[in-house]
Structure 1
Amino acid sequence: MRLKYVLNEVLIGLWRNITMTIAMMITLSVSLTMLGASALMYLQVGQMKDFYYAKIEVSIFLTEDITDGQRAGIDAALTASPLVRDKVYETKAQALARFRKMFRDSPTLVDAVRPDTLPESFRVKLKDPEAYDEFTRQLAGRPGIQLIVDQREVLGKVFRVFSSIQLLALVIASVMAVAGLLLVGNIIQVAAYSKRREVAVMKLVGASNWFIQAPFVLEAMAAGLAGSLLAFGGLYAGKVLLLDGPLQALSKLMTPIPDGNLWLMLPLLAAAGAGTSGVAGWITLRFHIRV
């Protein structure tokens, strides 16, 4: 009987303040959508690092006046190095062919590069990309080497951009979450004020604080849960309609978002929405409303 009464009061409370309840659901859904997007971005950046770092190459550009003996010495050093997983020697002609293929959509740039402009090089893949500094020390000072370039320097800049986007999403989500929680507190105050006589009667007959507060807290949790479902729906629609549709070309840069990561957001958003709303409602009742 008590449970039935509490649930009935929750439904009545939600319907009685329907406009404010909808406003709270929308506000929470926006903040939770940003939170879910930032969480997906965090997981995606980690996955992209693992994917791209496994493909990283160290480019060893050779000097113009390198001798056959120096080239053979560098090749032997790379073969003997325990840090090297694979190596490929690239002549000037091969470098030019690869350059023309990469920039085939920019004929002006391709025409500006002469056959002898690009140096010959070794393309090396390390067993551990983090061992670049040790690998560089092994080859330091060896004659015939003009420059050693690690692709991690370029990828690091890209990942810093993604990290900045992730941080911005978290900041926006935090601001929206504060706004949503303040709205939860206002709704709880209005609901409690509209039922102040019923609350007073229940106190007179000896009802416990938990029994009086439960409907209000559950109202907030129900609205938060509804907002989290809306947020998950927005994330799912964004992936299906945008990332798997018009923005599918981004998959050449970003690794695809696994369905498992997307569905992981559902319980996380539900817990965040219902949990924070319930806590906000309880704090409002505990410190601002005497029941």
Structure 2
Amino acid sequence: MRLGLVLSEAGSGLRRNFSMVVSIVLVTFVSLTFVGVAALMQLQIGQMKGFWYDKAQVAVYLCNDAVQNSNCPSAATTDEIAAVKTALSSAPVKTFVKSFRFEDHQLAYTNFKKQFKGNPVADYVTPDILNEAFWVNLNDPNQSAVISEAISGMPGVDAVTDQRRLLDQIFAVLNTASITAATIAALMLVAAALLISTTIRLSAFSRRREIGIMRLVGASNRFIQTPFILEGVLASLIGSVLAAAATIGIVQFFIQGYLQTAQRDINFVTISEAIVVVPILIGAGVVLAAVSANVAISRYLRV
């Protein structure tokens, strides 16, 4: 098979069907950009889970006069606070506890003001409204049930809360968004495959006389198919490269340029991590185009 002739036929086909080539480029670009965004979201979710789950604490909230209930008829006394501290330091529990600290009303108020700085609600909060609490760091965050079983029900204890439960709800929302993006990307890839297939069939139909002549002179199906497959692959390759560039651009200018500047306490996806997605996008685009074009031209030649 003469490579120069095959490439010449592919180039001729790209020139003849320029508008359809542009449509392949665009639909491949859009669909693979969705794939890139979905991949970035999964990378970000995994990174945030590792970062925040390690920092997640168990909060032992003590009774407060401001909010009374059946478990807390009055504020926790000094002896009850000391009993909770002793329980956290006891042998059965200590093996699970990495460290813990006590937060009194004033310290809770200071932290609250920092967290809600600029929020008008903070102006109406006073130290006595906020619960005193023990903040517990665990050696294994998955063992939070041990603390709950050991401390819940003790006199002066209002509630034992695991921050991981709140994080699970947040990550559930993020995972749903990621799955939605992946679903849209899958639908767009199906549309891209159908468009590539249709474009190749139309290209073959427009050159049916040439195909007939090649068959008469004994050209094999492989020789006839190859230029059409190359047309689809080259057009899709351009779209894949654009999608990869868009993915890198999202990380560079939006995630690192905007989000990282606004939220310095969170580790966001970096360029080096995003680069891992690039060969996946390009490979997916090339394979998608090659398979779609091969199926389309093979079915056309059998007709």
Do they superpose with TM above 0.5? yes
Percent pairwise identity: 36
Corresponding residue for 2:31? 31
Q: Which of the numbers 131, 136, 143 marks the counterpart of 2:143?
A: 131
Q: Which runs of 5+ in 1 are unaligned?
A: none
Q: Is the 8 A contact 1:223 1:274 kept in 2?
A: no
| Aligned mates of 2:149, 2:117 — CA distance in 1 | 36
| Aligned mates of 1:254, 1:222 — CA distance in 2 | 40
Q: Residues 31 and 8 from structure 1, CA distance in 2 versus in 1: closer, same or farther, beyond 3 angstroms?
A: same
| Aligned mates of 1:285, 1:253 — CA distance in 2 | 54
| Aligned mates of 1:288, 1:134 — CA distance in 2 | 67
2:74 aligned with 1:61: no
Deviation (angstroms), 1:270: 0.6
Q: Is the 8 A contact 1:189 1:289 kept in 2?
A: no
Deviation (angstroms), 1:192: 1.0
Corresponding residue for 1:142? 154
| Aligned mates of 2:212, 2:146 — CA distance in 1 | 75
| Aligned mates of 1:104, 1:206 — CA distance in 2 | 80
**After superposition, where does 1:181-192 map in structure 2 within 5 Å?**
181-192=193-204
Corresponding residue for 1:101? 114
- Counterpart amino acid of 2:117? R
- Counterpart amino acid of 1:83? F
The alignment yields a C-alpha RMSD, in angstroms, of: 1.9
| Aligned mates of 1:215, 1:140 — CA distance in 2 | 73
- Counterpart amino acid of 1:12? S
Q: Is the 8 A contact 1:70 1:143 kept in 2?
A: yes
- Counterpart amino acid of 1:129? P
Deviation (angstroms), 1:267: 0.5
SS in structure 2 at match of 1:142: coil
- Counterpart amino acid of 1:270? I
Deviation (angstroms), 1:264: 1.1
Q: Residues 12 and 271 from structure 1, CA distance in 2 versus in 1: closer, same or farther, beyond 3 angstroms?
A: same
SS in structure 2 at match of 1:89: strand
Corresponding residue for 2:220? 208
| Aligned mates of 2:181, 2:265 — CA distance in 1 | 20
- Counterpart amino acid of 1:190? L
Q: Which of the numbers 199, 214, 219 marks the counterpart of 2:231?
A: 219
Q: Is the 8 A contact 1:41 1:166 kept in 2?
A: yes
Matched pairs, number: 290
- Counterpart amino acid of 1:117? I
SS in structure 1 at match of 2:302: coil
| Aligned mates of 1:159, 1:56 — CA distance in 2 | 14
- Larger mean CA deviation between 257-266 and 272-281 belongs to 257-266
| Aligned mates of 2:153, 2:264 — CA distance in 1 | 38
| Aligned mates of 2:59, 2:259 — CA distance in 1 | 32
Q: Residues 266 and 95 from structure 1, CA distance in 2 versus in 1: closer, same or farther, beyond 3 angstroms?
A: same
Q: Which of the numbers 239, 245, 250 marks the counterpart of 1:233?
A: 245
Deviation (angstroms), 1:228: 0.5
Deviation (angstroms), 1:117: 1.1
Deviation (angstroms), 1:248: 4.0
| Aligned mates of 1:46, 1:26 — CA distance in 2 | 30
Deviation (angstroms), 1:221: 1.1
| Aligned mates of 1:41, 1:250 — CA distance in 2 | 18
Corresponding residue for 1:88? 101
Corresponding residue for 1:78? 88
Q: Which runs of 5+ in 2 are unaligned?
A: 65-74
- What TM-score do the two structures reach when normalised by structure 2? 0.89
Q: Which deviations, in whole Å up to 9, do the C-alpha atoms of 1:70-104 show, x marking residues without a partner? A: 32232222223211111111111111121122222
| Aligned mates of 1:181, 1:215 — CA distance in 2 | 18
Q: Is the 8 A contact 1:243 1:250 kept in 2?
A: no
